[in-house]
Each structure stands twice: as C-alpha cells, then as structure tokens.
A and B are shown apart, each in its own frame.
Chain A
Amino acid sequence: MVSVLEFENVTKEYRSFPGRRLLRALDRFTLKVETGEILGFLGPNGAGKSTAIHLAMGFMRPTSGAGRLLGQHFGHAPTRRRVGFLAENVALYHRRAESLVRFYGALNRMSGSHLAKRTRQVLEMVGLQDDLNRNVGKFSRGMLQRVGLAQAMVNDPELLILDEPTSALDPLARVAVRELLLNARAAGKTIFLSSHLLSEVELVCDRVAVLHRGRLVRMGKTVDLLQASAQMEIVARGIAAACFDGAVTRDGVVSFSVPANQQQAALERVWNLGGEVVSVNPLRRSLEEVFLEVTADPSSPDSERAL
C-alpha cells in the first residue's frame, strides 16, 4: 500500500504572544493514510485534529517533524490540485452555488465545458441540483456544508480531506453523504475523515485513528477496534440464568459474557448443566465505548498501544 498522507513525528506548538503559555497542539504525531481507504480521524475537542489537517493542507508549518501529501511536502501548492478539502464550519463567498463551485474549480486550473459539466454533476451529487442559481448566502448551514462538499469534489480529487463533513446535516443528507463517501472509495479515492459522529465513522471507515491531547492514542482497523474486547458472549438454552454471573434471560435463551480465556470452562459448564450452546461470539463494542476508553486516561500504557 502507498501512503497518500503521512505525518512523521510532527509537533506543532502555538505561542500567540511572547511570554504566554506554550500550547502543544500536536506532539510527535505519526500517521500514514493508505491509498483507497477511508480513515476516520477522531478525538475530543482540542485534541489537535484540525491542526493536523491544517498542517497537511499547508495552512501552517510544523514546529518540528515533517509530512507528505501525495508524495510531496506539506504546502506544495500544485499537489493540492489532486486534493479536495472541506473545512470545519465551512465559510464561502456569497455567490450563486453554481458560480461558486465553478470559481473553486477554476482555482484548480479547471475550465470550459469540463468545469461546467463537473460543477453541475457535483452539485447534483450533494442534492443541490434545484439550487444552482440560489445565492449561498441564503443557504442553511446544512446546505452550506453540501456546497462545501461539492467544491471539495469538483476537481475529482484522489484524496479527500474532510473536517466534520456531516455535522450540520439532517439524517437523510447524512445517508446521502455516507453513500457518496463509499462510492468515492469504490472509485479508488482515499478519504481522511475527521468527525465527532462516531456512528458515521463506524459505518464507513476502514481504519480509525484516535487523537488525544495531540498524541495518537489508538490506531487500527475499525473491525478490530470494535472486536478488541477480551470478552466473549455466550448464548445458551436449557440452563438457569442464576448459574452464571450477570446472565440475562431473553426469549428463552440465556446470554452472558466471560473473559476470552475462560470461555472453554464456561462452555463445559453449560454442557455439564445439560444446556445447549446457541452461539459464542466476541463481544462487540461500539466505537463510542472505544473512544471513551482511550480518551479517558491517555497516560495509561494500554491506551497508547497500536493494534
């Protein structure tokens, strides 16, 4: 796999005025985003997500460390022609939607009928085909976000860097954007998705990176993260729930969880009690649980392990 976006030991410190307290937004941050994946970039407010994204886009310079965007150093302007970017709380000029997207496309050296066709195509993709001639100054926040997404995709980028792309969208629009992201991945695009909407991330991302206080505290495949619990869930019938700690009865079956290293003993016990094992599965957690776990105590050695 080729990395399309790489951070290598990147540190970013802010000191807005001499003598003021130094704020370290990123601390020796290292991350690689591989071609064709959707990588979810998570972290609480102030974790340094937007800082990392702004460094990648060349909006600011790292205090130390370096990074590469599509093989070029951060800040290499011609490379950004192959990148689509949507900022958090996107701010756009007050123009007609179509004219605005064309303007951003033209900044990426697009022109003529190709630009006109692509502009209409992306606006249709985000569901704004009926609002082409409306001024974006009169758009709702959700519509603005959709225009923002359209301008990010107008150049048919290889890499999409999206900072909270669905935060202002209604559930229907969220589903549409989710489909759009999955289609983009199917077309070979890479997506770097920063979001607080963990359920969205869980649904679309191949891998997840969790940032906390400027440091990468968890990184791994989404499936692995969700199944990383050392607990197994056993469902059995023909036994009493009272036989196992924390067991519950539902629809005539008893379910309970045990540590993975005790599953054999638990299964034998079910059989010894005359019961029948219906299923044994690794206990699946939600991304929210993983997120809360790793951001609760960043100093814990366990929370810094890479999967």
Chain B
Amino acid sequence: MMPVVLIAINFVREQRWPILVLLLWVLLLAFLGLVTDVRQQREDLLFVFNSVAVYVVAFSIFFGGSAIYNERRSRRILCVLSKAVGRQQYLSGLVLGVTLASAIYCFALGITGSWTLGEAGFPVTQVWYLMLCLVAACTLAGTVALTFSTFLNPFLAAGATATVLGLPALAGRFLGPQWAYVIPVWPLAAKVVQSSFDSPGAASWFPLALAATETLGFWLLAARIFSYVDIAVAVE
C-alpha cells in the first residue's frame, strides 16, 4: 500500500500547476461570493458553480490519459519501476493520484460552494453530495483514460475516452435514461450541472456505487493490458 500512496502523492505533486490553475476557478467563485449580493445573484452564482464543477472531469481525462505517456517519455518511470513496485501497484498509484487531484479541487469547490450557495439557500449537504458525485465521475473518467493510455498516445486516449464516455450519454438521450448508466460519468456530472435552487436533486447512492465498481473494472483491465506492455524502448 505504501508505494501506491507514494506514487499517488508524487503524481499530485507533479500535477501541481494544472491543479493550481483549476483552483483559480474556485477563487473566481469565491471572489463573486465576496463582491456580489449572493441572495440577489444566486442563479448566476449557481451557474458559475455548475460550470466550474464540470471542468475537473475534463482535467481528469487529461491527467489519466497523459500520466503513463509523460512518465515513459521522460524515462522517469524506469527509476520507479526498478524498485519493488509492481505494474498493478503503479497503476493503482496513478488512479489514486487522479482521485486525489480531483478531490483537492472538489474539496476547495465544496468549501466555497457551501459558503456562497449555502448563504443563498442551497442545501449544504447537497453541495457535498454533488462534490462526491464529481469525485466519482472524475475517478472513473480518469481510469478509463488511463486504460486507453496503456496502449494509445494521449490524444488518441483522450478521444477514445470521450467516445466511450459519450456513447452511453447519447444512448441515454435517445434510447432511454437507463442506458446512460452503462458508464455513469455523464449521469454523475449531470447531477451537478442540472442542480438548481428549486430542484437541488435527490441523493442517490446507486450511481456512486456503480462508478466505484466500474472504476475497479477498468483498473483491472488497465493492469492486465499494462502488464504486457514494454514500458521502456531501448535508447539505442
């Protein structure tokens, strides 16, 4: 477990600049909370909150899709995997890293959202439920991207991830809402995007449990594929 945690923390450390850039959006929300009358401008604040929240899903795909590629290209992966670290542990570290990175953002957003939206009348418990949905969506999206990145370059991995996550969303729209839950990133993100003061949404644990199960499934698939991949191409 120790190497997994170390790799995850190291991953967050390496991604500190993109995370800080993301956190600027939270600062924007905090700034708006400070300079506006939150009760008068509550719909605008909620719109900013909803928009800012979903950015992190895209960032998770970016984090997951580029992690292995960057480490291989820089050859820093060699020093890590030359230690007593199995490939499955390495991938676990990256999945945990993506989760931590998104959790940091969601925590900051949750604090700011509780303060600004809570003051405007939005249920604070619902803010934290939405943040939990967002972390689950990010972890699943990042793991799907990581799975593709074990054998594709980051651009193709991001494209493949967008397709895999987008198709169930389209199916849900045209064939019936249950289809969206095949890979529940969209339903989880939609909970955040579509929440409003009139209808903050009901707390359902089903999509969270489904997302956690599918994250495990994609992680196992990624580990299986990654165990067959040559991670180092000879310098020669």
Q: Please give the residue numbers on chain A whose beta carbons come within 8 Å of chain B beta carbons, in ascending order.
A: 14, 25, 45-51, 54, 57-61, 77-81, 83, 85, 87-93, 103-104, 106-109, 111, 148, 151-152, 155
- Distance in angstroms from B44 CB to nearest chain A CB is 41
A163 closest partner in B (C-beta): B235
Residue numbers in A under 8 Å from B228 (CB-CB) = 61
Instruction: Report the interface size for chain B: residues with CB under 8 A from the other chain.
Output: 29
| Min CB–CB distance B39 → chain A (angstroms) | 47
Given contacts A46-B236, A93-B76, contact A60 B83 (CB under 8 A): no
Whether, in the assembled complex, B74 has its beta carbon less than 8 Å from a beta carbon of chain A, the answer is yes
Q: Are the CB atoms of B230 and A58 closer together than 8 Å?
A: no
A111 and B1 CA atoms in complex are apart in Å by 13
Min CB distance, B16 to chain A, in Å?
A: 11
Q: Which B36-78 residues have a C-beta within 8 angstroms of A?
A: 74-76, 78
Interface flag for B2 (CB, 8 Å): yes
B232 CB-CB contact with A under 8 Å: yes
Instruction: State the Cβ distance, B55 to closest chain A Cβ, in Å.
Output: 27
Chain B min CB distance to A13 (Å): 11
7 CB-based A-B contacts, threshold 8 Å: A49-B236, A60-B231, A77-B84, A77-B85, A85-B82, A107-B80, A111-B2
Which residues of chain B are near A47, meaning CB under 8 Å? 236
Nearest-Cβ distance from residue A115 to partner chain B, whole angstroms: 11
Query: Does any Cβ of A come within 8 Å of B118's Cβ?
Result: no
Give the residue name and chain of the A residue nearest to B231 (CB): A59
> How far, in whole Å, are A234 and B95 apart by their CA atoms in the complex?
70
Do the beta carbons of B236 and A45 come within 8 Å of each other?
Answer: yes
B83 with A54: CB separation less than 8 A: no
The one of B13, B81, B83, B84 that contacts A59, using a Cβ cutoff of 8 Å: B81
Q: A89-B235, A107-B3, A109-B2 are in contact. Are A57 and B76 (CB under 8 A)?
A: no
| Chain A residue at minimal CB-CB distance from B84 | A81
Q: Which of A49, A59, A83 neighbours the largest number of chain B CB atoms within 10 Å of its CB?
A: A59
Cβ contacts under 8 Å, B75 to chain A = 87, 89-91
Residue B213 is within 8 A (CB to CB) of chain A in the complex: no
The contact string, 1 if C-beta is below 8 Å from chain A, for chain B 1-44, is 01100110010011000000000000000000000000000000
Is A50 in contact with B236, judged by CB distance below 8 angstroms?
yes
Let me know if B230 and A59 touch, CB within 8 A. yes
Closest B residue to A49 using CB positions? B236
Closest residue of chain B to A88, judged by CB?
B235
Q: Are A59 and B2 in contact (CB under 8 A)?
A: no
B79 touches A51 (CB 8 A): no
How many angstroms from the CA of A85 to the CA of B84 in the assembled complex? Answer: 11
Contacts of A85 in B (CB 8 A): 78-79, 82
A81 touches B83 (CB 8 A): yes
B78 touches A87 (CB 8 A): yes
CA distance A140 to B41 in the complex (A): 55
Which of B80, B82, B232, B235 has the most chain A CB within a 10 Å cutoff?
B82
Q: Are A108 and B79 in contact (CB under 8 A)?
A: no
Contacts of B6 in A (CB 8 A): 103, 106-107
Q: A51-B236, A107-B6 are in contact. Are A78 and B78 (CB under 8 A)?
A: no
Distance from A86 Cβ to chain B, minimum over Cβ atoms (Å): 9
Cβ of B4 to closest chain A Cβ, rounded Å = 10
* Interface residue? B126 (CB, 8 A): no
B72 to chain A, nearest CB (A): 10
Complex CA distance for A58 and B86, rounded to whole angstroms? 10
CB-CB under 8 A from B196, the residues of chain A are none
Q: Nearest Cβ in chain B — how far from A215, in angstroms?
A: 15
Known contacts being A25-B234, A77-B89, is A93 close to B82, with CB within 8 Å? Answer: no
Residues of A within 8 A of B89 (CB): 77
Measured between C-beta atoms, what is the minimum distance from A257 to chain B in Å? Answer: 37
Closest residue on chain B to residue A57 by CB atoms: B82
Supposing A77-B89, A93-B10, A103-B10 touch, asked if A151 and B236 sit within 8 A by C-beta, the answer is no
